[in-house]
Amino acid sequence: RLALPVFASDALSSVAYAPDEILITLSLAGMAGFMFSWPIGLMVGIVVAVVVMSYRQTVYAYPNGGGDYEVAKENLGRHAGLTVASALLVDYVLTVAVSVSSGVINAKAMFPFLEGHEAWTAVGVIVLLTIVNLRGVRDSGGAFAIPTYVFMISMLLMIFIGLFRIFVLGHELLSETANLEVVRPDGSGDLVGWALIAILARAFSSGCAALTGVEAISNGVPAFKPPKSRNASTVLGALGLIAITMLLGIIALANLTKVHLIDELTGTHYINEAGETIHTAATTVVGQLAAVVFSDWFQPGFYIMVAATMLILFLAANTAFNGFPALASILARDSYLPVQLHTRGDRLAFSNGILMLSVAAIVLVLAFNASVTALIQLYVVGVFISFTLGQIGMVRHWTGTLRTERDPAVRRRQQRSRVINIVGATMTGVVLIVVLISKFTHGAYLALVAMGLMYVLMLGISNHYRAVAEEVKLTPESDRALPSRVRAVILAQNVNLPAIKAIAFARATRPTTLTAVCVAIDDDQVETILDEWEAEDFGIPLKVIASPYREVTGPFLKFVSQLRTENPRDVVSVFIPEYVVGHWWEQVLHNQTALMIRTRLHFMQGVMVTSVPYQLESSDRRRDRARTLTENQVRR
């Protein structure tokens, strides 16, 4: 029951900006451009229908989720999988940037004082989402469901009421931009010929933003209740139907109420009835429709619609904060990203993923001044790369199963699925080409460069892990010899509680020999420590090494190295007392020498390094906090 809203926010929220982008792009063709919004909306709707049908096949074939990445990797190989992964990672960043920017534009309808501060408001929202996600979101269903349902219901109601008022009650509903004329940048007349076709192609490409978020549902199949595939498929179908209804409904209403938008960035502008030129773009399509449908009889309806739109857009951004680490985890499992990203409990790695997503989205928002129209040029490409490769993978999948399947009923079903996926692959492939051509120079190339970088990075990481795995592989010839004896060395720079704890622990291991070593960097240190050592009577020899150059690491390493040379068949065990502190800045004040020695000892063959921690009182604080954090993480 709750599965729908969680995944739906990303997919459904797109109808809040896709119609706007269609109209804005069409405005580049002049007033005549707007008449094409209807056929373009229809085409986008058809693509939505085909993609949703195609994904229903994927959901049945891959009930354990994984989405296009798994499908492409399994059926088309490593490089296709990596391509999809790169595209999706970049797309998550754009989902955050576009959704938040669009949410802020919608917010402006309620809070006009945001005008001129869009970019920083968007940054603020992203920071807020980051903090919430870093702390860990408990409720990932309940509270999130409400805005999604409110959005769906109020949107469908608005469309129904609008159409009812126009066609049944015969009201003449005119949007606030109905009487504004739109003029092209250079003031010349409407476009025709190839130039018009180019604009129509771009408008269609931007309208395809309506499809972003659909891919997220197939990733989420495991989260559905059993029968998972069936439920996921049903949700997908329902979602597709709702999305198409909303999209076409909005475009129909926008046509009927004569919504006219302009592209501020390229210089199209309005001329009002008084003949004055206006360069400022009006509010969003949803905002204009909500105003015209509700404002004259039920003002709260306007606010509910706009607020719900804003909230579902922020929710959509939030899904990326869940999806990004999830995809990163799968990629880490396959050794394309640092392995620790796969272990969820690793708070640091998880946090780093969220921070990377957040920083990238903030950079985008600031670079493009939170302009949805500018950001949308980078979006969509990634999703359609994912769609196309996913569908081609599915075609391969069915071809493979058909090779072995003998049951005629099952074969018939698989053949039907294959046909659907062939149609899906063809259509998404064609759309991808249209998107690439019409948007490449407008910004899509940036997204492609980012994807290329991710691809190269992940391939490099994967190759590294392969090489290391090969190097550490156990073979029958591998050396399994047991060291004969243990020579223990304690680094004892002071005679204090941490040192005697290290001594006690070292003695408990009953090594063959046990020596304490002090590297004295000041002259007076030598006598002090010898006196204190004798007073304690540990029964362990203390070797004091004078180091006139005030160097601890070098002389100590030399001592260990010598011990190794003298006893080549034994293993040396070095015990280092370490302070456990409560604040990060205390860490800077302690253990730095220990850390350096440990790092350097690691390069020596036949040496193991034992840290004997001594817990300072201040460490209690941090231990408690660490425990709380882990528990939160596990609970998720």
- Among the residue ranges 60-68, 221-229, 261-269, 468-476, the one whose residues contact its own copies (CB under 8 A): 468-476
- Which CB sits closer to its own copies, 193 or 548? 548
- Which CB sits closer to K ion, 212 or 284? 212
Q: Pseudo-torsion of CA 185, 204, 240, 312, nearest 10°? A: -30
Q: How far is the CB of 579 from its own copies (least distance, A)?
A: 7
Among positions 276, 471, 523, 566, the unique one binding its own copies when judged by CB under 8 A: 471
- Among the residue ranges 66-74, 214-222, 306-314, 596-604, the one whose residues contact its own copies (CB under 8 A): 596-604
Residue 596's closest CA among 573, 619, 576?
Answer: 576
- Which CB sits closer to its own copies, 398 or 538? 538
- Among the residue ranges 43-51, 58-66, 241-249, 552-560, the one whose residues contact its own copies (CB under 8 A): 552-560
By CB under 8 A, is residue 181 in contact with its own copies?
Answer: no
Q: What is the 3-state secondary structure (H, E, C) of 460-484?
A: HHHHHHHHHHHHCCCCCCCCCCCCC
H or E element in which residue 536 lies: helix 523-536
Q: Which does 508 bind (CB under 5 to 8 A by kind): its own copies, K ion, none?
A: its own copies
Q: Pseudo-torsion of CA 94, 100, 102, 107, nearest 10°? A: 180
Residues in the chain: 636
Q: Which does 200 bind (CB under 5 to 8 A by kind): its own copies, K ion, none?
A: none
Q: How far is the CB of 375 from its own copies (least distance, A)?
A: 30
Distance separating alpha carbons of residues 428 and 434, to the nearest angstrom: 10
Can you give the binding site for K ion, defined by CB under 5 A? 10-11, 14, 95, 210, 212-213
Q: Is the CB of residue 207 less than 8 Å from the CB of residue 40?
A: yes
- Which CB sits closer to its own copies, 146 or 453? 453
By CB under 8 A, is residue 596 in contact with its own copies?
Answer: yes
Q: Which does 264 bind (CB under 5 to 8 A by kind): its own copies, K ion, none?
A: none
Q: Which does 446 bind (CB under 5 to 8 A by kind): its own copies, K ion, none?
A: none
Residue 203's closest CA among 427, 32, 24, 376?
Answer: 24
By CB under 8 A, is residue 131 in contact with its own copies?
Answer: no
Q: How far is the CB of 609 from its own copies (least distance, A)?
A: 5
- Which CB sits closer to its own copies, 91 or 578? 578
Among positions 112, 406, 480, 566, the unique one binding its own copies when judged by CB under 8 A: 480
Distance separating alpha carbons of residues 57 and 402, to the nearest angstrom: 15
- Which CB sits closer to K ion, 10 or 578? 10
Count of residues interacting with its own copies (CB under 8 A): 92
Distance separating alpha carbons of residues 96 and 102, to the nearest angstrom: 10
Q: Which does 444 bind (CB under 5 to 8 A by kind): K ion, its own copies, none?
A: none
- β partners of residue 573: 488, 608
Distance separating alpha carbons of residues 187 and 184, to the nearest angstrom: 5
List the interface residues with its own copies, window 514-543 (CB under 8 A). 521-522, 532, 536
Single-letter residue type at 222: P
Q: What are the phi and psi torsion angles at 102 (to 5°)? A: -65, -40
Q: Is the CB of residue 265 less than 8 Å from the CB of residue 280?
A: no
By CB under 8 A, is residue 359 in contact with its own copies?
Answer: no
By CB under 8 A, is residue 416 in contact with its own copies?
Answer: no
Among positions 429, 434, 505, 564, the unique one binding its own copies when judged by CB under 8 A: 505
By CB under 8 A, is residue 473 in contact with its own copies?
Answer: yes
Q: At what angle do helices 444-471 and 408-439 cross, to 10 degrees?
A: 120
List the interface residues with its own copies, window 284-343 (CB under 8 A). 329, 333, 338-340, 342-343
Q: DSSP code of 166?
A: I
Q: How far is the CB of 77 from its own copies (least distance, A)?
A: 21
- Which CB sits closer to K ion, 10 or 70? 10
Q: How far is the CB of 54 from K ion (least distance, A)?
A: 15
H or E element in which residue 488 lies: strand 486-491
Among positions 485, 541, 562, 628, the unique one binding its own copies when judged by CB under 8 A: 485
Residue 155: CA count within 13 A, CB half-sphere: 29
Distance separating alpha carbons of residues 229 and 233, to the nearest angstrom: 6
By CB under 8 A, is residue 550 in contact with its own copies?
Answer: yes
Q: Which does 603 bind (CB under 5 to 8 A by kind): K ion, its own copies, none?
A: its own copies
- Which CB sits closer to its own copies, 165 or 487? 487
By CB under 8 A, is residue 461 in contact with its own copies?
Answer: yes
Distance separating alpha carbons of residues 602 and 172, to the nearest angstrom: 81
- Among the residue ranges 80-88, 253-261, 296-304, 573-581, the one whose residues contact its own copies (CB under 8 A): 573-581
176 class by beta-carbon count within 10 Å (0-12 exposed, 13-18 middle, 19+ buried) = middle
Distance separating alpha carbons of residues 309 and 322, to the nearest angstrom: 20
By CB under 8 A, is residue 621 in contact with its own copies?
Answer: no
Q: Which residue is nearest to K ion (CB)?
A: 14
**227: cis peptide before it, omega within 30°?**
yes
Single-letter residue type at 248: L
By CB under 8 A, is residue 346 in contact with its own copies?
Answer: yes
Distance separating alpha carbons of residues 382 and 290, to the nearest angstrom: 32
- Which CB sits closer to its own copies, 441 or 478? 478
Q: How far is the CB of 635 from its own copies (least distance, A)?
A: 9
- Which CB sits closer to K ion, 22 or 210? 210
Q: Which does 213 bind (CB under 5 to 8 A by kind): K ion, its own copies, none?
A: K ion
Residue 50: CA count within 13 A, CB half-sphere: 24
Strand order in 269-271's β-sheet? 181-183, 269-271, 277-278
